[in-house]
Amino acid sequence: MSSIDDIFHSYSMYKTIIVCSDEDIKRLTRLMNQRDYPVSNMIDFASFISGQSRIAIIDVVDAEHIDYIFRYCPHVLSEISAVLCVGEMELKGILRKYPVFFI
């Protein structure tokens, strides 16, 4: 969690997508909510799209298919500042065009 704090304190990011394993989503969402980060996950992804939350936590499978979601809300693509990857993974599709931090 301190790595995520360091990144958010060092860089100005409007919207960020965090990609992690499915097992880490609940834990990471809980920890970030405890620190008052405006976070959502795929269940409430609409809050990320609308701007109510500025951080979306998704798993690797959702990351591989995120292009389909953004077809219906292309304006969000210009709002994303970075992608944070928790663990070793290879990003595919549209997420590769953003700055990527591996933590």
Say how many domains are in the chain.
Answer: 1
Q: Which pLDDT value is given to residue 71?
A: 85
Number of residues that this document lists for the chain: 103
**Could you identify the residue written with the tokens 């990857």?**
85
CATH number for position 12: 3.40.50.300
Q: Which pLDDT value is given to residue 3?
A: 85
In terms of residue numbers, what domain contains 85?
A: 2-102
User: CA-to-CA distance for 5 and 43, rounded, in angstroms?
Assistant: 24
Q: What is the mean pLDDT of each run of 10 residues along the chain (103 residues)?
A: 84 91 92 94 92 94 87 89 90 86 90
CB-CB neighbours of 91 under 10 Å: 19
